[in-house]
Structure 1
Amino acid sequence: MQKTIHNTAPSGIKRSFERFEPYITKVKKYPIFLSVVLIGFISAQKLNLAGEIYIGEILGLIYILSNLRKINPGKQLKSLILIGLLWSLCQLISDQINETELLDSVKGVGTPLIFISTIVALSMFFMRNIRRTPSFLLGIYLGQAVQLVIFQNEYFEMNPWKWGIGQLTLGLFSTYFTFFLAKKRNLYLILFVISFSIIGLLNDSRSMAMFPMFATVAYIYLRKRKFGAVLKKFRGKFAITKLAFIIFSLLFLTNTIFTAVFSSDWVLEKLPAESAKKFKTQAGGEYGALLGGRNEMLVSTSAFLDKPLLGHGSWAKDKDGYHDKLAILRYTLGYAETNDSSYKSDLIPVHSYIMSALVWAGFAGGLFWLYIIRWLLIEFLASFEYLGFFFYNGLIIIMWDIMFSPFGANARWMAASFISAFYCYSKYISKNKVIK
């Protein structure tokens, strides 16, 4: 917990965090630490069983089945389960209508079921003893390190920092800084983030470079009474609507900044030649750098509108020339030098949690992710002044990923781990809050 918490929190919260902090700063006194780290480490190992699945997801299913009588999910988890089941059901119907191959259908229908069961299982695990959370998260990142060494994929080989080392470094630091560092100084955080961002830019990773900077600014200023009081005004009626307006405004601002920065010769000259060329092309398009880096949105939106009710089925095949349409749009809008259509995948182009759900399953898939966004923002508004850097950084990343990143096995596991940790931590804060 952060030092500023003890300076500003009500006395009940202060006592609560004082009980929690010795575990995370003096772990040698608690043998449970190593056992939970080991569980997290094992859970982070990935298997290939007709598709990628994490041991943690399998253990989550076992944990739920062995504790069925003890499951008592709160309102948020009940809603999550219902909407997730609706998504899965619509995916099943869509697969039947679109005559999806059996294996693809099993994976597509099973994705929301595995995802929500993992969130529920981890939430149960953390709620029974909130002190398990830091150790489990640490175990996950240590387990990821082993995965990077043993199972290197083609993306990692092309760019080790962007597709593995950078994510692992940020995860380990944010976990350590938030939960295990006894005497926190903002200077430590600032120095790390500046160094991390510079390395990220030099390794062709703009989002990984920029998001920790955004998280650091938010973490430092929102926890101050003066700035936190402004965000508190968003609580209450229409809170999410008001906050959504701010988020979209920030996205517009980010796009403007990205476009200006990566159109600057002064910046591009300091980057590797290949990265500079790509960034300049993306920033030179009609709608700026954001859409330049995620231009699959140009046709995934069209694909959803073509079949909005039930979508194109699991692992939706491109039967209607969406790749060719995308190539033409890229060229027309200035994001490519030619309109040649060259692609490795035969799937409809999607690069987003929410858009892949919308394209595959129709409105129900999108409804699920809209609920996730709303849920996380409500929890953040309720407890932002007590949250550590891990949660600020994680929230920004998952919001970005929902809008602009593919939802594969790694994303499914890491998103479920973060959501459950964030949810349980927020509930812990609410439960122990005593206003006097």
Structure 2
Amino acid sequence: MNIHNTHLLKDRPRIDPLGCISFLAGLTSAIQIKFFGQLYLGEVFLAVLGLLLIADKFIPSARSRRKNILENPFFIKFLIALCISFLGLALSDFWVNSVPRDYFRGWAKIIFLTLDVIAIGFAIERNRWNLWWLSVGLGFSILSPSIISHNLLTDWKVVYAGPVAFLVLSFMPWLGKQLLPLTLASAGIVNIVLDYRSLGLMFVIMAAIVWSKVNASQVSRKQLFKLVVALSLSFLLLFAAYQNSQEEFSERREYSNAARFGGIQVAFEAIADSPILGYGSWAKSEALTERFLDLTGVRQRGFNTPDRVYAEQNIPAHSQLLQSWIEGGILGTTFFFFYGIQLVKSLRFLIAQRIYDRLFPLILFSCLSGLWHLVASPFAGSHRFTVALTVGIVCLLHSEQFKTTLAGYKIT
């Protein structure tokens, strides 16, 4: 059953001070600062906002009359999960006697993620369109010197694809409902051609979901038949695009596949060896690194891979969930495990019950990509931004679901 909170359909972008901060944080999200590792200028803005919110909550003289996100019970669960994960990481660092340089970087990563989550959650709770302003900023971060200095074609997957996706999803809804599925499917084909296979497939899946949403009130057998034909053609085009670009990207794709599956296999071996306490921040193991190199055939097949990936003998888990387990032990997984459960619940609500509005494609993309990265991408660099953004979206969807329940609609 679709939820008829029709006020969402009439909603338009609104700007406020938090919207300006959100846009600025996104815009500067690709500008790196040296601080115990990788820190981004945009995170500094979010960290300041996060600290101010903590002060507003716990310092009596600083309290304002407005409701603080830190008073939201559902949001607090994320913070508790982050604290437990931090505890697991700290205990593991002490257990393996990690060097200060490593555990300062590891702890800072969790601390800045927490501040990002608080700041972005607060901004979205105050005005749902601050999600849009942050996305627009992330899109225009493509203008950062650290991005435009790269080659568009060869570095599309690592550098350009993310900002372009946020730009497309921010402005695409104004093209009109009937063009949305076609635009999404086209974006999927472009990403396949430029060797971002997971993002290409994700866009095609989104095209089908958006089509079902915009035609929800008038679905007929004829339209379902058209959808099946359109999806079939899209997948055929995806396959053709993949085959056409195979010669150019074959080595990179072969290594990507080997690294992902090899990393996951090594991760399970590492967890089996030490399931309760982890290997600490920037988990290292010479034996497991060698095992990974053997599984992927880096030396035998002569893959052209960056030396920095293996220089410190890090255990190369290609999964946020598994990486948190390797580094922080069973307690270290608490945040990402809770995050994954809430992502699945949010997607169920989003696809099955929530109506379509202009934020729908962006929300859907964030939830789908969040789930993918949870199981198949490492937690590093700019992922703090996207994880914090997705947590804010999950809290927004939870609030919408709760309000709809109060209004008399049954949530099944």
TM-based fold match above 0.5? yes
Does residue 323 in structure 1 map to residue 292 in structure 2?
no
Q: Which amino acid aligns with 1:410?
A: S
Please state how far the C-alpha of 1:402 moved relative to its aligned partner: 0.8
- Residues in 2 aligned to 1:274 and 1:316: alpha-carbon distance in whole angstroms: 34
Does residue 424 in structure 1 map to residue 396 in structure 2?
yes
Does residue 212 in structure 1 map to residue 203 in structure 2?
yes
- Structure-1 residue corresponding to 2:127: 129
Distance 1:324 1:343, change over 3 A: farther
Distance 1:64 1:412, change over 3 A: closer
Correspondences of 1:21-170 after superposition (within 5 Å): 21=12, 23=13, 37-38=23-24, 40-42=26-28, 45-67=31-53, 68-70=55-57, 71=68, 72-149=70-147, 152=150, 159-170=154-165
- Residues in 2 aligned to 1:267 and 1:297: alpha-carbon distance in whole angstroms: 28
Unaligned runs of 5+ residues in structure 1 are 229-257, 283-288
Please state how far the C-alpha of 1:420 moved relative to its aligned partner: 1.2
Query: Could you give the per-residue CA deviations for residues 319-375 of structure 1, whole angstroms, max 9, x where no partner exists?
Result: 3x11332344446xxx99669999831211211111111111111222321100111
Distance 1:427 1:56, change over 3 A: farther
Please state how far the C-alpha of 1:59 moved relative to its aligned partner: 2.7
Distance 1:423 1:301, change over 3 A: same
Distance 1:174 1:430, change over 3 A: farther
- Residues in 1 aligned to 2:285 and 2:158: alpha-carbon distance in whole angstroms: 27
Please state how far the C-alpha of 1:77 moved relative to its aligned partner: 1.8
8 Å CA contact 1:45, 1:144 repeated in 2: no
8 Å CA contact 2:81, 2:335 repeated in 1: yes
Please state how far the C-alpha of 1:308 moved relative to its aligned partner: 1.0
Correspondences of 1:273-422 after superposition (within 5 Å): 273-276=247-250, 279=253, 293-319=260-286, 321-330=287-296, 344=307, 345=310, 346-384=313-351, 385-386=354-355, 388-422=360-394
Please state how far the C-alpha of 1:185 moved relative to its aligned partner: 2.1
Unaligned runs of 5+ residues in structure 2 are 58-67, 220-234
8 Å CA contact 2:98, 2:281 repeated in 1: yes
- Residues in 1 aligned to 2:91 and 2:19: alpha-carbon distance in whole angstroms: 45
Q: Which amino acid aligns with 2:282?
A: W
- Residues in 2 aligned to 1:132 and 1:269: alpha-carbon distance in whole angstroms: 40
- Residues in 2 aligned to 1:41 and 1:330: alpha-carbon distance in whole angstroms: 37
Please state how far the C-alpha of 1:173 moved relative to its aligned partner: 0.7
Please state how far the C-alpha of 1:145 moved relative to its aligned partner: 3.1
8 Å CA contact 2:278, 2:326 repeated in 1: yes
8 Å CA contact 1:98, 1:313 repeated in 2: yes
Distance 1:325 1:133, change over 3 A: closer
Q: Which amino acid aligns with 1:273?
A: E
Please state how far the C-alpha of 1:48 moved relative to its aligned partner: 1.9
- Structure-2 residue corresponding to 1:249: none
Please state how far the C-alpha of 1:75 moved relative to its aligned partner: 2.4
8 Å CA contact 1:89, 1:109 repeated in 2: no
Q: Residue 262 of structure 2: SS of its match in structure 1? A: coil
Q: Residue 316 of structure 1: SS of its match in structure 2? A: coil
Please state how far the C-alpha of 1:132 moved relative to its aligned partner: 2.6
How many corresponding residue pairs? 372
- Residues in 2 aligned to 1:139 and 1:341: alpha-carbon distance in whole angstroms: 33
- Structure-1 residue corresponding to 2:231: none
8 Å CA contact 1:95, 1:313 repeated in 2: yes
Task: Give the TM-score normalised by the residue count of structure 1.
Answer: 0.73
8 Å CA contact 1:54, 1:413 repeated in 2: no
- Residues in 1 aligned to 2:323 and 2:403: alpha-carbon distance in whole angstroms: 36
State the superposition RMSD in angstroms: 3.7
- Structure-2 residue corresponding to 1:174: 169
Please state how far the C-alpha of 1:298 moved relative to its aligned partner: 1.2
- Residues in 1 aligned to 2:388 and 2:32: alpha-carbon distance in whole angstroms: 15
- Residues in 2 aligned to 1:328 and 1:214: alpha-carbon distance in whole angstroms: 35
- Residues in 2 aligned to 1:200 and 1:174: alpha-carbon distance in whole angstroms: 14
8 Å CA contact 1:36, 1:136 repeated in 2: yes
Q: Residue 53 of structure 1: SS of its match in structure 2? A: strand
Task: Give the TM-score normalised by the residue count of structure 2.
Answer: 0.77
Distance 1:291 1:372, change over 3 A: farther
- Structure-2 residue corresponding to 1:192: 183
Q: Which amino acid aligns with 2:209?
A: A
- Residues in 2 aligned to 1:93 and 1:372: alpha-carbon distance in whole angstroms: 22
Q: Residue 245 of structure 2: SS of its match in structure 1? A: coil
Query: Could you give the per-residue CA deviations for residues 213-246 of structure 1, whole angstroms, max 9, x where no partner exists?
Result: 1122123225665899xxxxxxxxxxxxxxxxxx
Please state how far the C-alpha of 1:184 moved relative to its aligned partner: 2.1
Please state how far the C-alpha of 1:306 moved relative to its aligned partner: 0.8
Distance 1:58 1:277, change over 3 A: closer
8 Å CA contact 2:28, 2:40 repeated in 1: no
Q: Residue 144 of structure 2: SS of its match in structure 1? A: helix
Distance 1:342 1:213, change over 3 A: closer
Deviates more, 1:109-118 or 1:88-97: 109-118
